[in-house]
């Protein structure tokens, strides 16, 4: 956002070539909000512009798939806890985990009641638990995760973000995963910058650029828009809309994207 302010206008920040697609990443006005709380993940924008000639993709489906595949099976995970702010991705993640037989622990009552009302089978009722206990070894976290919450985590806890921005790392004896992302194929051309990035003003006129994804690792939200183009999915993915999670994941692997290498031992 601060780059947008420095340049003073909308501009193409990066151009890429992927197979037959010509891709552009644009820095747009700070007033175009896509957040769930302000714009219902883009649905309001679509309603106000019914004749829009492009499709709006918020990328939630792939983000969910990446997080689900980031939970290490080798750890014998049978229980996960949700911490931080709840959103569309967290809701679908929790329901998917319940259906897979993994117990989901929710620490905020309003989020628990919302999820309970959405469970489609009585067989999953015991998989959803309301508790303020912090002993679970796998946490799925959104924005708003506090330092105090992290200090209550057990040693060796795996913290997996489902948010676009990573939590501030407080514990050295816990494992922090990256935000939802995948390694790009080598034939994706002109990948010139680490992505995403945040810019923090430390002093007047001095900017500190912070990257939290390694080079050639791309956020799942950005990959999702590429997949829509490659697969010819002529649909909007915004509001409460979620595509088939397995279909989206399989498409990403088929087009050369791969999970990032991780070690949590």
Interval 242-261: pLDDT, tens: 999 999 999 999 999 999 87
Number of Cβ atoms within 10 Å of the Cβ of 106: 23
3-state SS assignment for residue 165: coil
Pairing of strands 158-161, 175-176: parallel
Provide the pLDDT for residue 55. Answer: 84
Provide the pLDDT for residue 201. Answer: 39
Pairing of strands 128-130, 21-27: unpaired
Provide the pLDDT for residue 215. Answer: 80
Provide the pLDDT for residue 209. Answer: 44
Q: Per-block average pLDDT, block size 10, for the chain (265 residues)?
A: 52 67 63 57 80 87 96 83 95 94 94 91 82 95 96 96 94 96 84 51 42 83 91 90 95 94 65
Pairing of strands 181-183, 138-141: unpaired
DSSP string, 37-94: HHHTTTHHHHHH-TT-SS--B--HHHHHHHHHTTS-GGGT--EEEEES---HHHHHHH
Provide the pLDDT for residue 250. Answer: 97
Provide the pLDDT for residue 200. Answer: 42
Interval 105-142: pLDDT, tens: 999 999 999 999 988 776 677 899 999 999 999 999 99
């Amino acid at each position: 956002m601060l780059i947008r302010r420095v340049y003073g206008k909308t501009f193409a920040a990066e151009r890429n070539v992927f197979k037959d697609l010509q891709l552009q990443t644009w820095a747009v006005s700070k007033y175009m909000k896509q957040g769930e709380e302000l714009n219902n993940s883009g649905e309001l924008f679509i309603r106000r512009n019914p004749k829009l000639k492009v499709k709006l993709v918020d990328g939630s489906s792939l983000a969910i798939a990446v997080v689900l595949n980031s939970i290490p099976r080798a750890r014998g995970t049978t229980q996960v806890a949700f911490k931080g702010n709840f959103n569309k991705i967290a809701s679908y993640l929790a329901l998917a985990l319940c259906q897979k037989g993994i117990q989901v622990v929710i620490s905020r009552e309003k989020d628990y009641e919302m999820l309970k009302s959405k469970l489609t089978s009585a067989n999953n009722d015991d998989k959803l638990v309301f508790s303020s206990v912090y002993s679970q070894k796998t946490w799925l976290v959104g924005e708003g995760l506090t330092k105090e919450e992290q200090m209550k985590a057990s040693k060796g806890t795996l913290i997996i973000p489902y948010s676009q921005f990573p939590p501030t790392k407080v514990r050295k004896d816990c494992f922090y995963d990256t935000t939802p992302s995948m390694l790009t194929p080598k034939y994706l051309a002109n990948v010139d910058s680490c992505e995403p990035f945040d810019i923090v003003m430390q002093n007047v006129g001095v900017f500190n650029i912070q990257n939290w994804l390694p080079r050639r690792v791309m956020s799942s939200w950005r990959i999702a828009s590429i997949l829509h183009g490659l697969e010819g999915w002529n649909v909007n993915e915004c509001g409460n809309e979620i595509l088939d999670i397995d279909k989206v994941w399989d498409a990403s692997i088929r087009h050369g994207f791969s999970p990032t290498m991780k070690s949590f031992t």
